[in-house]
Amino acid sequence: MKPNYGTILVVDDNPAILTAVKICLGDVFERIITLAAPDTILATIQQEHVDVILLDMNFSLGVNSGQEGMIWLSAIHRKHPDIPVVLVTAYADVKLAVRGLKNGAVDFVTKPWNNEELIRVLKDAIDNSKELVPLDEVEKEHVKKVVDRCHGNMSKAAELLGITRQTLYKKYQP
């Protein structure tokens, strides 16, 4: 199976987690970028096209409040609101998950995760971040381009589009 989900950035201080993610997601993503510390997240996003981020909530030994993850989530969301962020932590905390979602995360996964569930969550995060344009808007834009290409000659534009001039006038709104 050929990977088709672009690039994921995984940020986790646990090398075993980074290895597990590479194994689990290797068939799903074309590129897997891993960071063992969050301090280069913003620089990495600036240099690389990233489709989704899997962000650990805790980076300091013995700290499990999730506060570090929230700070980085906020920083990412401020500069790159279009990149979906999925939070991950070993400490399942519903209040923390809700806070993360309110602060812009698209979902929340707990360690240890179910591989199929992790893949589904990440695919959904990317799929849902791609804005779908309504068909009538696509059609209006196409009609406008054809009319522009014909320099306003409605008869020629209608002929190119394979519709009557009357139909073209209904569809064309400059």
For 51-84, how does the pLDDT look when each residue is reduced to its tens digit (9 = 90+)?
A: 999 998 877 665 566 778 889 999 998 888 889 9
Residues 91-124: pLDDT tens digits? 666 677 778 888 889 998 888 889 999 999 999 9
Separation of alpha carbons 114 and 75, rounded Å: 28
Tokens in use for 96?
């923390």
Helix (H, G, I), strand (E, B) or coil at 118: helix
Tokens in use for 111?
């360690």
Of 6, 8, 36, 38, which Cα lies nearest the Cα of 22? 8
Whether this prediction's pTM lies above 0.75 is answered by: no
Helix (H, G, I), strand (E, B) or coil at 161: helix
Dihedral pair phi/psi, residue 123, rounded to 5°: -65, -45
For tokens 């240890």, name the residue. 112
Task: Name the strands in the sheet holding 7-11, side by side, starting at the edge strand that comes first in the sequence.
Answer: 31-35, 7-11, 52-56, 85-89, 107-110
Of 40, 52, 34, 30, which Cα lies nearest the Cα of 105? 52
DSSP 131: P
